[in-house]
Amino acid sequence: MARSPAIALVSGGLDSCVAAAIAADRGEVAFLHLNYRQRTERRELEAFAAIADHYQVGRRLVVEVSYLQQIGGSSLIDPALPVPEGETEGVPSTYVPFRNANLLGVAVAWAEVLGARRVYIGAHEEESQYPDCRAAFFAAYNRMIAQGTRPGARIRVETPLIALDKGAIVRRGVELGAPLHLTWSCYQREDQACGRCHSCRLRLDGFARAGLPDPIPYC
Amino acid sequence: MARSPAIALVSGGLDSCVAAAIAADRGEVAFLHLNYRQRTERRELEAFAAIADHYQVGRRLVVEVSYLQQIGGSSLIDPALPVPEGETEGVPSTYVPFRNANLLGVAVAWAEVLGARRVYIGAHEEESQYPDCRAAFFAAYNRMIAQGTRPGARIRVETPLIALDKGAIVRRGVELGAPLHLTWSCYQREDQACGRCHSCRLRLDGFARAGLPDPIPYC
């Protein structure tokens, strides 16, 4: 019997690229991308396609979850709210309410149809200001999947980066030959990365800690 | 402090109408409807609007989750698969993979933005051939919500019909004055209910067990 494929959630960013590299290293992988009308949607979709081409992924699914913008509540998707620069206290304004639960819901539905048993997501606890990036959340999500899918589906979410810091993620990506030059992380711009938003700062800090130059352009 | 509203998932069908009636009986309620390009989408949306008007609901949200059709795997949303009539063994072909997890994901995201603490869904175990209609699934979902939402959000899914059979649901609806004449359950037709699909049979059986006539037209 052919091994069932895995599904990788690929946003186009650094973390999901490394998670996808780990999934691809272990076997056949299908790529899932979700558009939710975030500020840099077009650029992230471009990065998704380039990473999928790099891994010669045949099964790709791009879906619209624009209801996240209808619902609002996040500076990542609401043009009226400013994207914070630098450190913030508590849950950041870029937090999209219940985003990972929604993204994983799509991935698990697709997994059930494809017969896939693993869903890879690049979340890590360094972003644990976001409640839905913590290991305890994914453990609870897996218990919920076991109850809510058909008998024998045996689908699990895998979080291979959960305990890594951004420096270790960069190093893991480089070890696996992940195409980090094709990724996009900036929350604000689509031509050159701003270098100032929370996501750019985390990324730059990761490359610095790994002792490597970031291959993407900054303004 | 004003009491926070509840959210009711209102498909336009009988069960969600009774669940919404219970929510409305307890306080302010916001209505959420999801289109996923099911066969009878237009008719269900019409029923949703009529029920919302009946309860004079101000906060209404209608969102597209058409990715469920992109993903496929269900006769409810895939025109190539026949809708079964009568009883079936195991998980029915009308099962939409991981549907309730996806619908609740949207509702919980909205709840987090509105400050709502309760999400009402009309699921019941009589439909427990669907894995995501069982009490164990909702209990696991609530534990996952507690992990994946911001501290203090305290959102819970309420399943007031979970242990009721369809006869008891009809009686509960009538007791509360729920507008059952405005609901639509048929999986196949939009003008008159077919009376033969799984959903029509359950509904007709419910009215029969309650000893009441079903107020909607059948062919």
Distance of CA A116 to the CA centre of its chain: 18
pLDDT tens profile B47-60: 999 999 999 999 99
Separation CA A144–CA A140 (nearest Å): 6
Within a domain: B88? yes
Within a domain: A130? yes
Query: Is the pLDDT score of A196 beyond 80?
Result: yes
* The residue to which tokens 């991308």 are assigned: A33
Residues of B in contact with A95 (CB under 8 A): 150
Residues of A in contact with B116 (CB under 8 A): none
Within a domain: B136? yes
Residue B130 pLDDT class (50, 70, 90 cuts) = confident
Q: Tell me the ipTM for this assembly.
A: 0.89
* The residue to which tokens 């405005």 are assigned: B182
Amino acid B76: pLDDT = 60
Amino acid A28: pLDDT = 96
Amino acid B1: pLDDT = 43
User: Which residues in B have their CB inside 8 Å of a CB on A?
Assistant: 61, 63-68, 70-73, 91, 95-102, 105-106, 108-110, 112-113, 131-132, 134, 136-137, 139-141, 143-151
Residues of A in contact with B162 (CB under 8 A): none
Amino acid A1: pLDDT = 44
As a whole-number percent, the residues of chain B with pLDDT over 90 amount to: 70
Residue A69 pLDDT class (50, 70, 90 cuts) = confident
Mean pLDDT value across residues A126-138: 85
* Contact yes or no for A101 and B144 at CB 8 A: yes
Within chain A, how many helices (H) and strands (E) appear?
7, 5
* Contact yes or no for B71 and A110 at CB 8 A: yes
Structure tokens at A162: 């959960």
- A-B contacts at Cβ under 8 angstroms: 145
Which range, of A36-50, A70-84, A164-178, B150-164, averages the lowest pLDDT? A70-84
Among A154-158, B38-42, B73-77, the range of highest mean pLDDT: A154-158
Separation CA A106–CA A150 (nearest Å): 15
- Other beta carbons less than 10 A from residue B93's beta carbon: 16
Nearest CA in chain A to B132: A148
Within a domain: B217? no
Residues of B in contact with A121 (CB under 8 A): none
Amino acid B84: pLDDT = 58
Domain range spanning residue B195? 6-210
Within a domain: B26? yes
Q: What is the CATH number of the domain that holds B15?
A: 3.40.50.620
Residues of B in contact with A151 (CB under 8 A): 91, 131
Mean pLDDT value across residues B103-112: 96
Of B63, B67, B147, the CB nearest to A131: B147
* Contact yes or no for B67 and A67 at CB 8 A: no
Residue B21 pLDDT class (50, 70, 90 cuts) = very high
Residue A96 pLDDT class (50, 70, 90 cuts) = confident
Of A11, A8, A18, A15, nearest to A36 by C-alpha is A11
pLDDT tens profile A150-195: 989 999 999 999 999 999 999 999 999 999 999 999 988 889 999 9
What CA–CA distances, in Å, run from A131 to A38, B83, B201?
A: 19, 40, 43
pLDDT tens profile B179-214: 999 999 998 888 999 999 888 999 999 999 999 999
Which range, of A50-64, B85-99, B164-178, averages the lowest pLDDT? B85-99
Which range, of A83-97, A124-138, A163-177, averages the lowest pLDDT? A83-97
Mean pLDDT value across residues A40-45: 91
Query: Is the pLDDT score of B20 beyond 60?
Result: yes
Under 8 Å between Cβ of A155 and A60: no
Residues of A in contact with B151 (CB under 8 A): 91, 131
Within a domain: B172? yes
Within a domain: B203? yes
Query: Is the pLDDT score of A210 beyond 90?
Result: yes
Mean pLDDT value across residues B26-40: 90
What CA–CA distances, in Å, run from B215 to A136, A137, A176, B17, B192?
A: 48, 45, 64, 14, 12
* Contact yes or no for A109 and B146 at CB 8 A: no
Amino acid A4: pLDDT = 84
Q: How many angstroms away from the CA of A31 is the closest CA of chain B? A: 13
Residues of B in contact with A72 (CB under 8 A): 113
As a whole-number percent, the residues of chain B with pLDDT over 70 amount to: 87
Under 8 Å between Cβ of B125 and B135: yes
Number of structural domains, chain A?
1
As a whole-number percent, the residues of chain A with pLDDT over 90 amount to: 70
Q: Which of B69, B71, B162 to mutate to test the interface with A (most CBs of A within 10 A)?
A: B71
- SS3 call for A24: helix
Within a domain: B132? yes
